[in-house]
Amino acid sequence: MDELHNQVFSPGSLPELFSSWSRFPDAVLFSGGTELVRGQGGLVFRLPRNLIALGRIEELRRFSRTERFLDIGATATLSEILALGKILPEALRRAIAETANPQVRNLATIGGNICCPSRRMDTFAPLVALDARLELRTAVSSRWISASRFAPAFGPPLLGANELLTRIRLPLETWDYCVHRRLGTSRWPDDEGAVFSFIARAQKGILSDVRMAFAGKTLVRDREIDNAIIGKSLPLEARMATAFVDRWRTAVAEAQFPSGLLKDRFLNLVEQAVFGLCD
């Protein structure tokens, strides 16, 4: 134990981690640490009393790939994921490439990005749009949950007590159309920031799948509205695009957004993305 105040555990495996965590349930997990120390410009960091460092757990940083899925360990850094190159879906690749700077991407992990309690970080919108699934484990159980169900519209992600995000499973599908926009004043997370992801694919000139997600302080997604333009032929008729935007306008009219400006910007992005299918 540190003579000053912090106590840091460095388990080498998941059983060791859960054992430490059961003894110190208040311990905070530390991987890249970029969120935990964000904005702390003082002489020393203000760290939680008990920390569990995940860096030594190899299992949490593995990648594996099958024909249909890419599995990413939760402590894989954003740089390591970016280095996967072309197998990475474009929406996610662009979101990661626009996150912070190369040095910070060498530290920040995808698990930390997903589990950030204060807001949805940059990778969340593309993960929701891509229908990624997340593996959550405790000492005695494991479950898979879709990224969209992992986070409510507002508030922290739905992690149970002593539950750990261990893996992210990305479906490896081809998307023909991708619109990605990052809103905010800089490359660093702020309350006004959000990420917009719109992906679509077509078969024989017919829209076969459309997915849209918007994530920042709030998470916006509605599969029913997405489904409204599936099956339409391309280029999309302008009246259908207008109807799509109007449905979104109605859907978010009462929704809680951090600001009216952000809501307007969201609707503008929906309009730009869907009218892009009319060209």
Partner 1 sequence: MTVGFILNGEDVVVQAGADRRLLDILRDTFKLFGSKASCRVGRCGSCSVILNGKLVPSCLIPAFSVRGGEVITIEGFMQTDEYLDIAAGFARSGVEMCGFCESAKILATEALLDKSPRPTREEILSAFDGVLCRCTDPRTLAEGVAAASDARQRRLYGRAP
Tell the smallest beta-carbon distance from residue 41 to partner 1 (Å). Answer: 4
Considering the complex, state which of residue 5 and residue 149 has its C-beta at the smaller distance from partner 1. 5
Considering the complex, state which of residue 66 and residue 186 has its C-beta at the smaller distance from partner 1. 186
Considering the complex, state which of residue 35 and residue 163 has its C-beta at the smaller distance from partner 1. 35
Beta strands in the chain (DSSP E): 7-9, 28-30, 50-53, 63-65, 69-73, 133-137, 142-146, 164-171, 177-183, 194-203, 206-216, 219-220
Considering the complex, state which of residue 56 and residue 247 has its C-beta at the smaller distance from partner 1. 56
Report strand pairing: 142-146 vs 206-216. Answer: unpaired
Coil, strand, or helix at residue 28?
Answer: strand
Q: How far apart are CA 275 and CA 279, in angstroms?
A: 7
Tell the smallest beta-carbon distance from residue 115 to partner 1 (Å). Answer: 18
Residue 75, token pair as written in the block: 């402590």
Considering the complex, state which of residue 82 and residue 159 has its C-beta at the smaller distance from partner 1. 82
Question: Contact residues for partner 1 (CB under 8 A)?
Answer: 2-6, 8, 10, 30, 33-34, 37-47, 51, 53, 55, 77, 79, 83, 97, 100-104, 106-107, 188
Tell the smallest beta-carbon distance from residue 122 to partner 1 (Å). Answer: 15
Tell the smallest beta-carbon distance from residue 156 to partner 1 (Å). Answer: 23
Q: How far apart are CA 157 and CA 71, in angstroms?
A: 20
- Evaluate whether 229 touches 222 at the Cβ level (below 8 Å): no
Tell the smallest beta-carbon distance from residue 104 to partner 1 (Å). Answer: 5
